[in-house]
Structure formats: C-alpha cells, structure tokens
Amino acid sequence: MKHVLMALSLNIIALPVLAETCPEAPPIEADMDRLVAQVQRAPDQMAARALSAEMWELWLQAPDEYSQNLLDSAMARRNVADYAAAEAALTSLVQYCPFYAEGWNQRAFVRFLQSDWDGALTDLDQALKYNPRHTGALTGKALTLINAGRDDEAQPVLREALELNPWLSERALLRGEDL
C-alpha cells in the first residue's frame, strides 16, 4: 500500500500544470503564406512534398506543452489502431484548445478511420473554420465525402485544396470535367 501511495504521489507531482484556458497557438500565417506560394510554384512533386512536410510541421505545433502531449499521445494511439484512446485524447484537446485546428483535424482522421463520416465531417468543418487553408483538412473532407457517397460535394472541396497545393496526390480523384 505504501508503494502505491508513493507512486500516486509521484504521478501527481509529474503531471504538467494545466492552465485554465489554452494559450494562443503559435502564429503560422506568415510561414503558411510563404509555403503556399512556394508549393504553387514548385517545379516537381519532390519539391512540393518537402514543402507539404513543412506545412505539417507548422500545423502539428500545439499551443502549449499540455496540448502537445495530448496531440502526440493521440497520434501514437492512432498509429497502433487504439482509436478509442486516440479519440478520447483528441476530445480532451479540442475541449481544452477549441481554436486549434489540428486537434479537430486529427480527431476527424480518427473518426474517418472508423468510418464515422458524419463525425469526421463535423470535425473537419471545425478545423476549416479555424484554418481555412489547411490542405490536409480540405483533402480529408473531400475523401470523407467520397467515402460517404457524396462525390458531387467532394469535387469543389478537392478543387479548393488543389488551388492551394496543385501537387496533392488527391488530384487523381478529380472527375474528368473537373480537371
């Protein structure tokens, strides 16, 4: 019993102090402006991939250590198909940082992986509310709509994503008249 109490005490001490509200996310607009302009002028797929990776690095910067830990934990759980734990962590994240687009985007992805099209679309709309140029959320929304049998609704979303990044692999999903 003494060891259990000691372990519990150490865990409580080791927990990060949780602020009452989430701080503002790091400003990424200027970097995103630069990356979007560069990817639109990219000479080839390889150059565009590197720029897309830089975009993801920016999106995955959570507002503080607590929110970053929630995000990282959720992604680790998702990667081993523990969707319930991933969704729980992401729900905590969007409750704590409701304006952090990537929290919504990642929860949408977990829901997509579970074929919860309505849940994924709701989360993607939230992500896009906070970051309308998030090509990952835009392509996620297009893919979710396609999987939900709503291809006609997916096409304009897909075009919007491709206007930002013409190198996205999802461009193969455009219908002939939409090319």
- What's the CATH number where 137 sits? 1.25.40.10
Instruction: Quickly state the pLDDT bin for 26 (edges 50, 70, 90).
Output: confident
Residue range of the domain that includes 165: 45-61+99-178
What is the pTM (predicted TM-score) of this model? 0.86
State the Cα–Cα distance between residues 140 and 146, nearest whole angstrom.
10
Please name the residues in contact with 35: beta carbons below 8 A apart, sequence gap of 6 or more. Answer: 51, 54, 55, 58
Instruction: Please check whether residue 141 lies inside any domain of the structure.
Output: yes
Domain count, the chain: 1
How many Cβ atoms are within 10 Å of 160's Cβ, its own excluded?
Answer: 17
Instruction: Please check whether residue 174 lies inside any domain of the structure.
Output: yes
* Residue 157 predicted with pLDDT over 80: yes
Instruction: Quickly state the pLDDT bin for 50 (edges 50, 70, 90).
Output: very high
| 115: region left, alpha or beta (phi > 0 left; psi from -120 to 50 alpha) | left
* Residue 4 predicted with pLDDT over 50: no
Residue 3: predicted pLDDT: 43
User: Is the CB of residue 111 less than 8 Å from the CB of residue 94?
Assistant: no
